[in-house]
Amino acid sequence: MSEIVRLALAEDIGSGDVTSTACIPEEQMASGRFLAREALVVAGLDLLREIYDCRGGVDELQVVRRDGDCVRDGDLLATVRGKARTLLECERVALNFLQRLSGVATRARQFADAIAGTGCQVLDTRKTTPGLRALEKKAVAAGGVTNHRMGLFDAILIKNNHIAATGGVRAAMERARASGLPIEIEVRTRAELQEALESGAAHLLLDNLSPNEAAEWIREVAHRAKVELSGGITLDNVRGYAETGADYVSSGAITHSARAVDISFRLELT
């Protein structure tokens, strides 16, 4: 993750933190505390060491929570001691990562809690912030949601446009098998569903169905393949989809619509 951290710091600091340079003596020491300002699930704390190391390091860094921990308003997350200029020039980048990633972890935990006891798993998607996918997927896992494929390279997901470009469900399945990778295929009609099952599909994606429609299709599958439901799945309706008998439900909202949570940094001179 060092490259992502380096780019974030370069974007913010540029040629230098002119405010801190103008106001604070170079050798002034300070300490700081990262505090939760609301109930949240923590993620991204392991980036703090990298952030400070990129700017010459600090004398002391103590991370007192772990990714995945549930904390309350006022709880301490980490403490740091070093040059005041270093702490200030790293403050916004550190908070941006912590607030964004903890927001994703918090939203993921809400989804996981919403389907508890159904036997269904929540999956994330590739609908992530460009450049931050690995970090956001790690935050998703910290929140208790299962990671789907990382990208286009590690599993095959045949979607409607692939089927159209290939000439049909059966043709797409036959060509994909040569890769040796796991295969999931989206089906949009009952005819495509039957064709996929007859072609030996082991993992089906059913998109944009209502919970009642999904339950009917899943009964027709009759455990011949794993079933994932997607499309319009939100925190408000995810349990209804999970109760259809699906093996998985996936939602892009876990990452693309997660709210940055409130975390503060308090600095004191030492």
What is the C-alpha to C-alpha distance for residues 232 and 16, in angstroms, rounded to an integer?
45
What is the C-alpha to C-alpha distance for residues 208 and 187, in angstroms, rounded to an integer?
11
Q: What single DSSP character describes residue 129?
A: -
Please, which residues have CB within 8 angstroms of residue 204's CB and are 6 or more apart in sequence?
A: 184, 185, 186, 187, 193, 196, 197, 221, 225, 226, 227, 228
Rounded to 5 degrees, what angle do the CA atoms 145, 64, 50 make?
Answer: 80
Q: Where are the alpha helices (DSSP H) in 81-189?
A: 84-114, 133-142, 160-166, 169-177
What is the C-alpha to C-alpha distance for residues 124 and 140, in angstroms, rounded to an integer?
7
> What residues are labeled active site?
92, 127, 159, 186, 207
End-to-end CA, the chain: 31
Give me the count of residues in the chain. 270
Cα–Cα distances (Å) from 105 to 48, 68, 141, 197, 257, in that order, read: 17, 7, 7, 35, 12
Q: Are strands 156-158 and 60-63 parallel, antiparallel or unpaired?
A: unpaired
Cα–Cα distances (Å) from 4 to 28, 92, 261, in that order, read: 28, 15, 21
Crossing angle, helix 190-198 and helix 169-177, to 10 degrees? 30
